[in-house]
Amino acid sequence: MDASSIMILMWVTIVIILIFDFTNGFHDASNITGTIIASRAMTPIQAAILTGVFHFIGPMLGGTAVADTIGKFVKIGDLEAVVSLSILLCGIFGSIFWNLFTWWFGMPSSSSHALVGGIAGAVLFAAGSNHVMWGWEDLVMKGKLSGVMKVVLSLFISPILGFWVGWMLQKFARALTANSKPGIDRFFKASQWVSAALLSFSHGTNDAQKSMGIISLALLLGGDIQKFHVPFWVIFTCALFITAGNMFGGWRIVRTVGFGIFNVQPIHSFNAQLSAASVIWGAALIGAPVSTTHVASSSIMGIGSSESPKAVKWAKGKEIVATWLITIPGSGLVGGLTYTVVNFFLKLN
């Protein structure tokens, strides 16, 4: 394949990644707006505008630490450009398919899990496990987390942190407001303009960087850049697409996040947003890609169990956890099978 054809394939891959970025914002909008709407702090339009603005600001100011982690967890630079870009393209397709599949059924699965699973699956099917940077060697020899180890541990530890931060924050808030007047609900409704902005900022910062990292990898594989880095136009474009996705919103999942786990009141909504924002923003600072879906849902569970464990709809929680667990292998299988089918037809031609 000549240089112009490789360039076309590279740009097709970038467009598909931007579509994933849009579906990421679309799918995860409910994690930001679910509790706001459930607690009646804002109308859906107000919530969409506020969260949209801060979704755009987050990636522009949040750095590229997460993008560096995501862009380097597979090693396909030694393959032919057409092969490596095809792997990336098929992996992203697996991620998009999983996002839309779970959105259709109203399940708050993780876009981050889907992204990692889809690409890792395509790489495993196409090139084998030695082209995935697992991170074992860095952990044993250098004592640091990298590659798949860093990604997976970040994705699985963050919900636990979200649960306990939410639990402790709710206990603290209840202690502070034990003798407050009934009008305290107005305070917590108004405060959500701040907490929702913080959560939107942190979500945009962490999640948009995942697409930034994959686009930068595509630019490197296509020969457009000689060393891995994230160009400014990539930052701006990813911020724009995840914001657009958020503005359209995945309203099917609002019912699950806002109403399906716990009967959310203004104090719960404020604490859920604040606890999720602190975990997600902290992870972005150390380059750890986390799932807003995981953290937001687990924060609500922690807050609900802090109030009354019996009031938490644990059956819905188990359903969500099950979706979390199957997302990486599910999207990975789709990504891998997509590459297998595409490769089969290319060989026929």
Cα four-point dihedral sign 263, 266, 270, 273: positive
Per-residue pLDDT tens for 31-65?
A: 677 777 777 888 878 888 888 899 899 999 988 98
State residue 250's pLDDT score.
53
Helix (H, G, I), strand (E, B) or coil at 59: helix
Per-residue pLDDT tens for 191-238?
A: 999 998 999 899 889 889 999 999 999 999 998 998 999 999 999 999
Given a cut of 70, the residues of the chain with pLDDT beneath it are: 1, 30-31, 106-108, 249-262, 316-317, 320, 346-349
State residue 289's pLDDT score.
86
State residue 74's pLDDT score.
86
Q: What is the pTM of this model?
A: 0.85
State residue 277's pLDDT score.
93
State residue 311's pLDDT score.
74
Burial 163-189 (b: 16+ CB within 10 A, else e): bbbbbebbeebeeeeeeeeeeebeebb
State residue 335's pLDDT score.
92
State residue 172's pLDDT score.
93
State residue 163's pLDDT score.
92
What CA–CA distance (Å, rounded) separates 205 from 59? Answer: 4
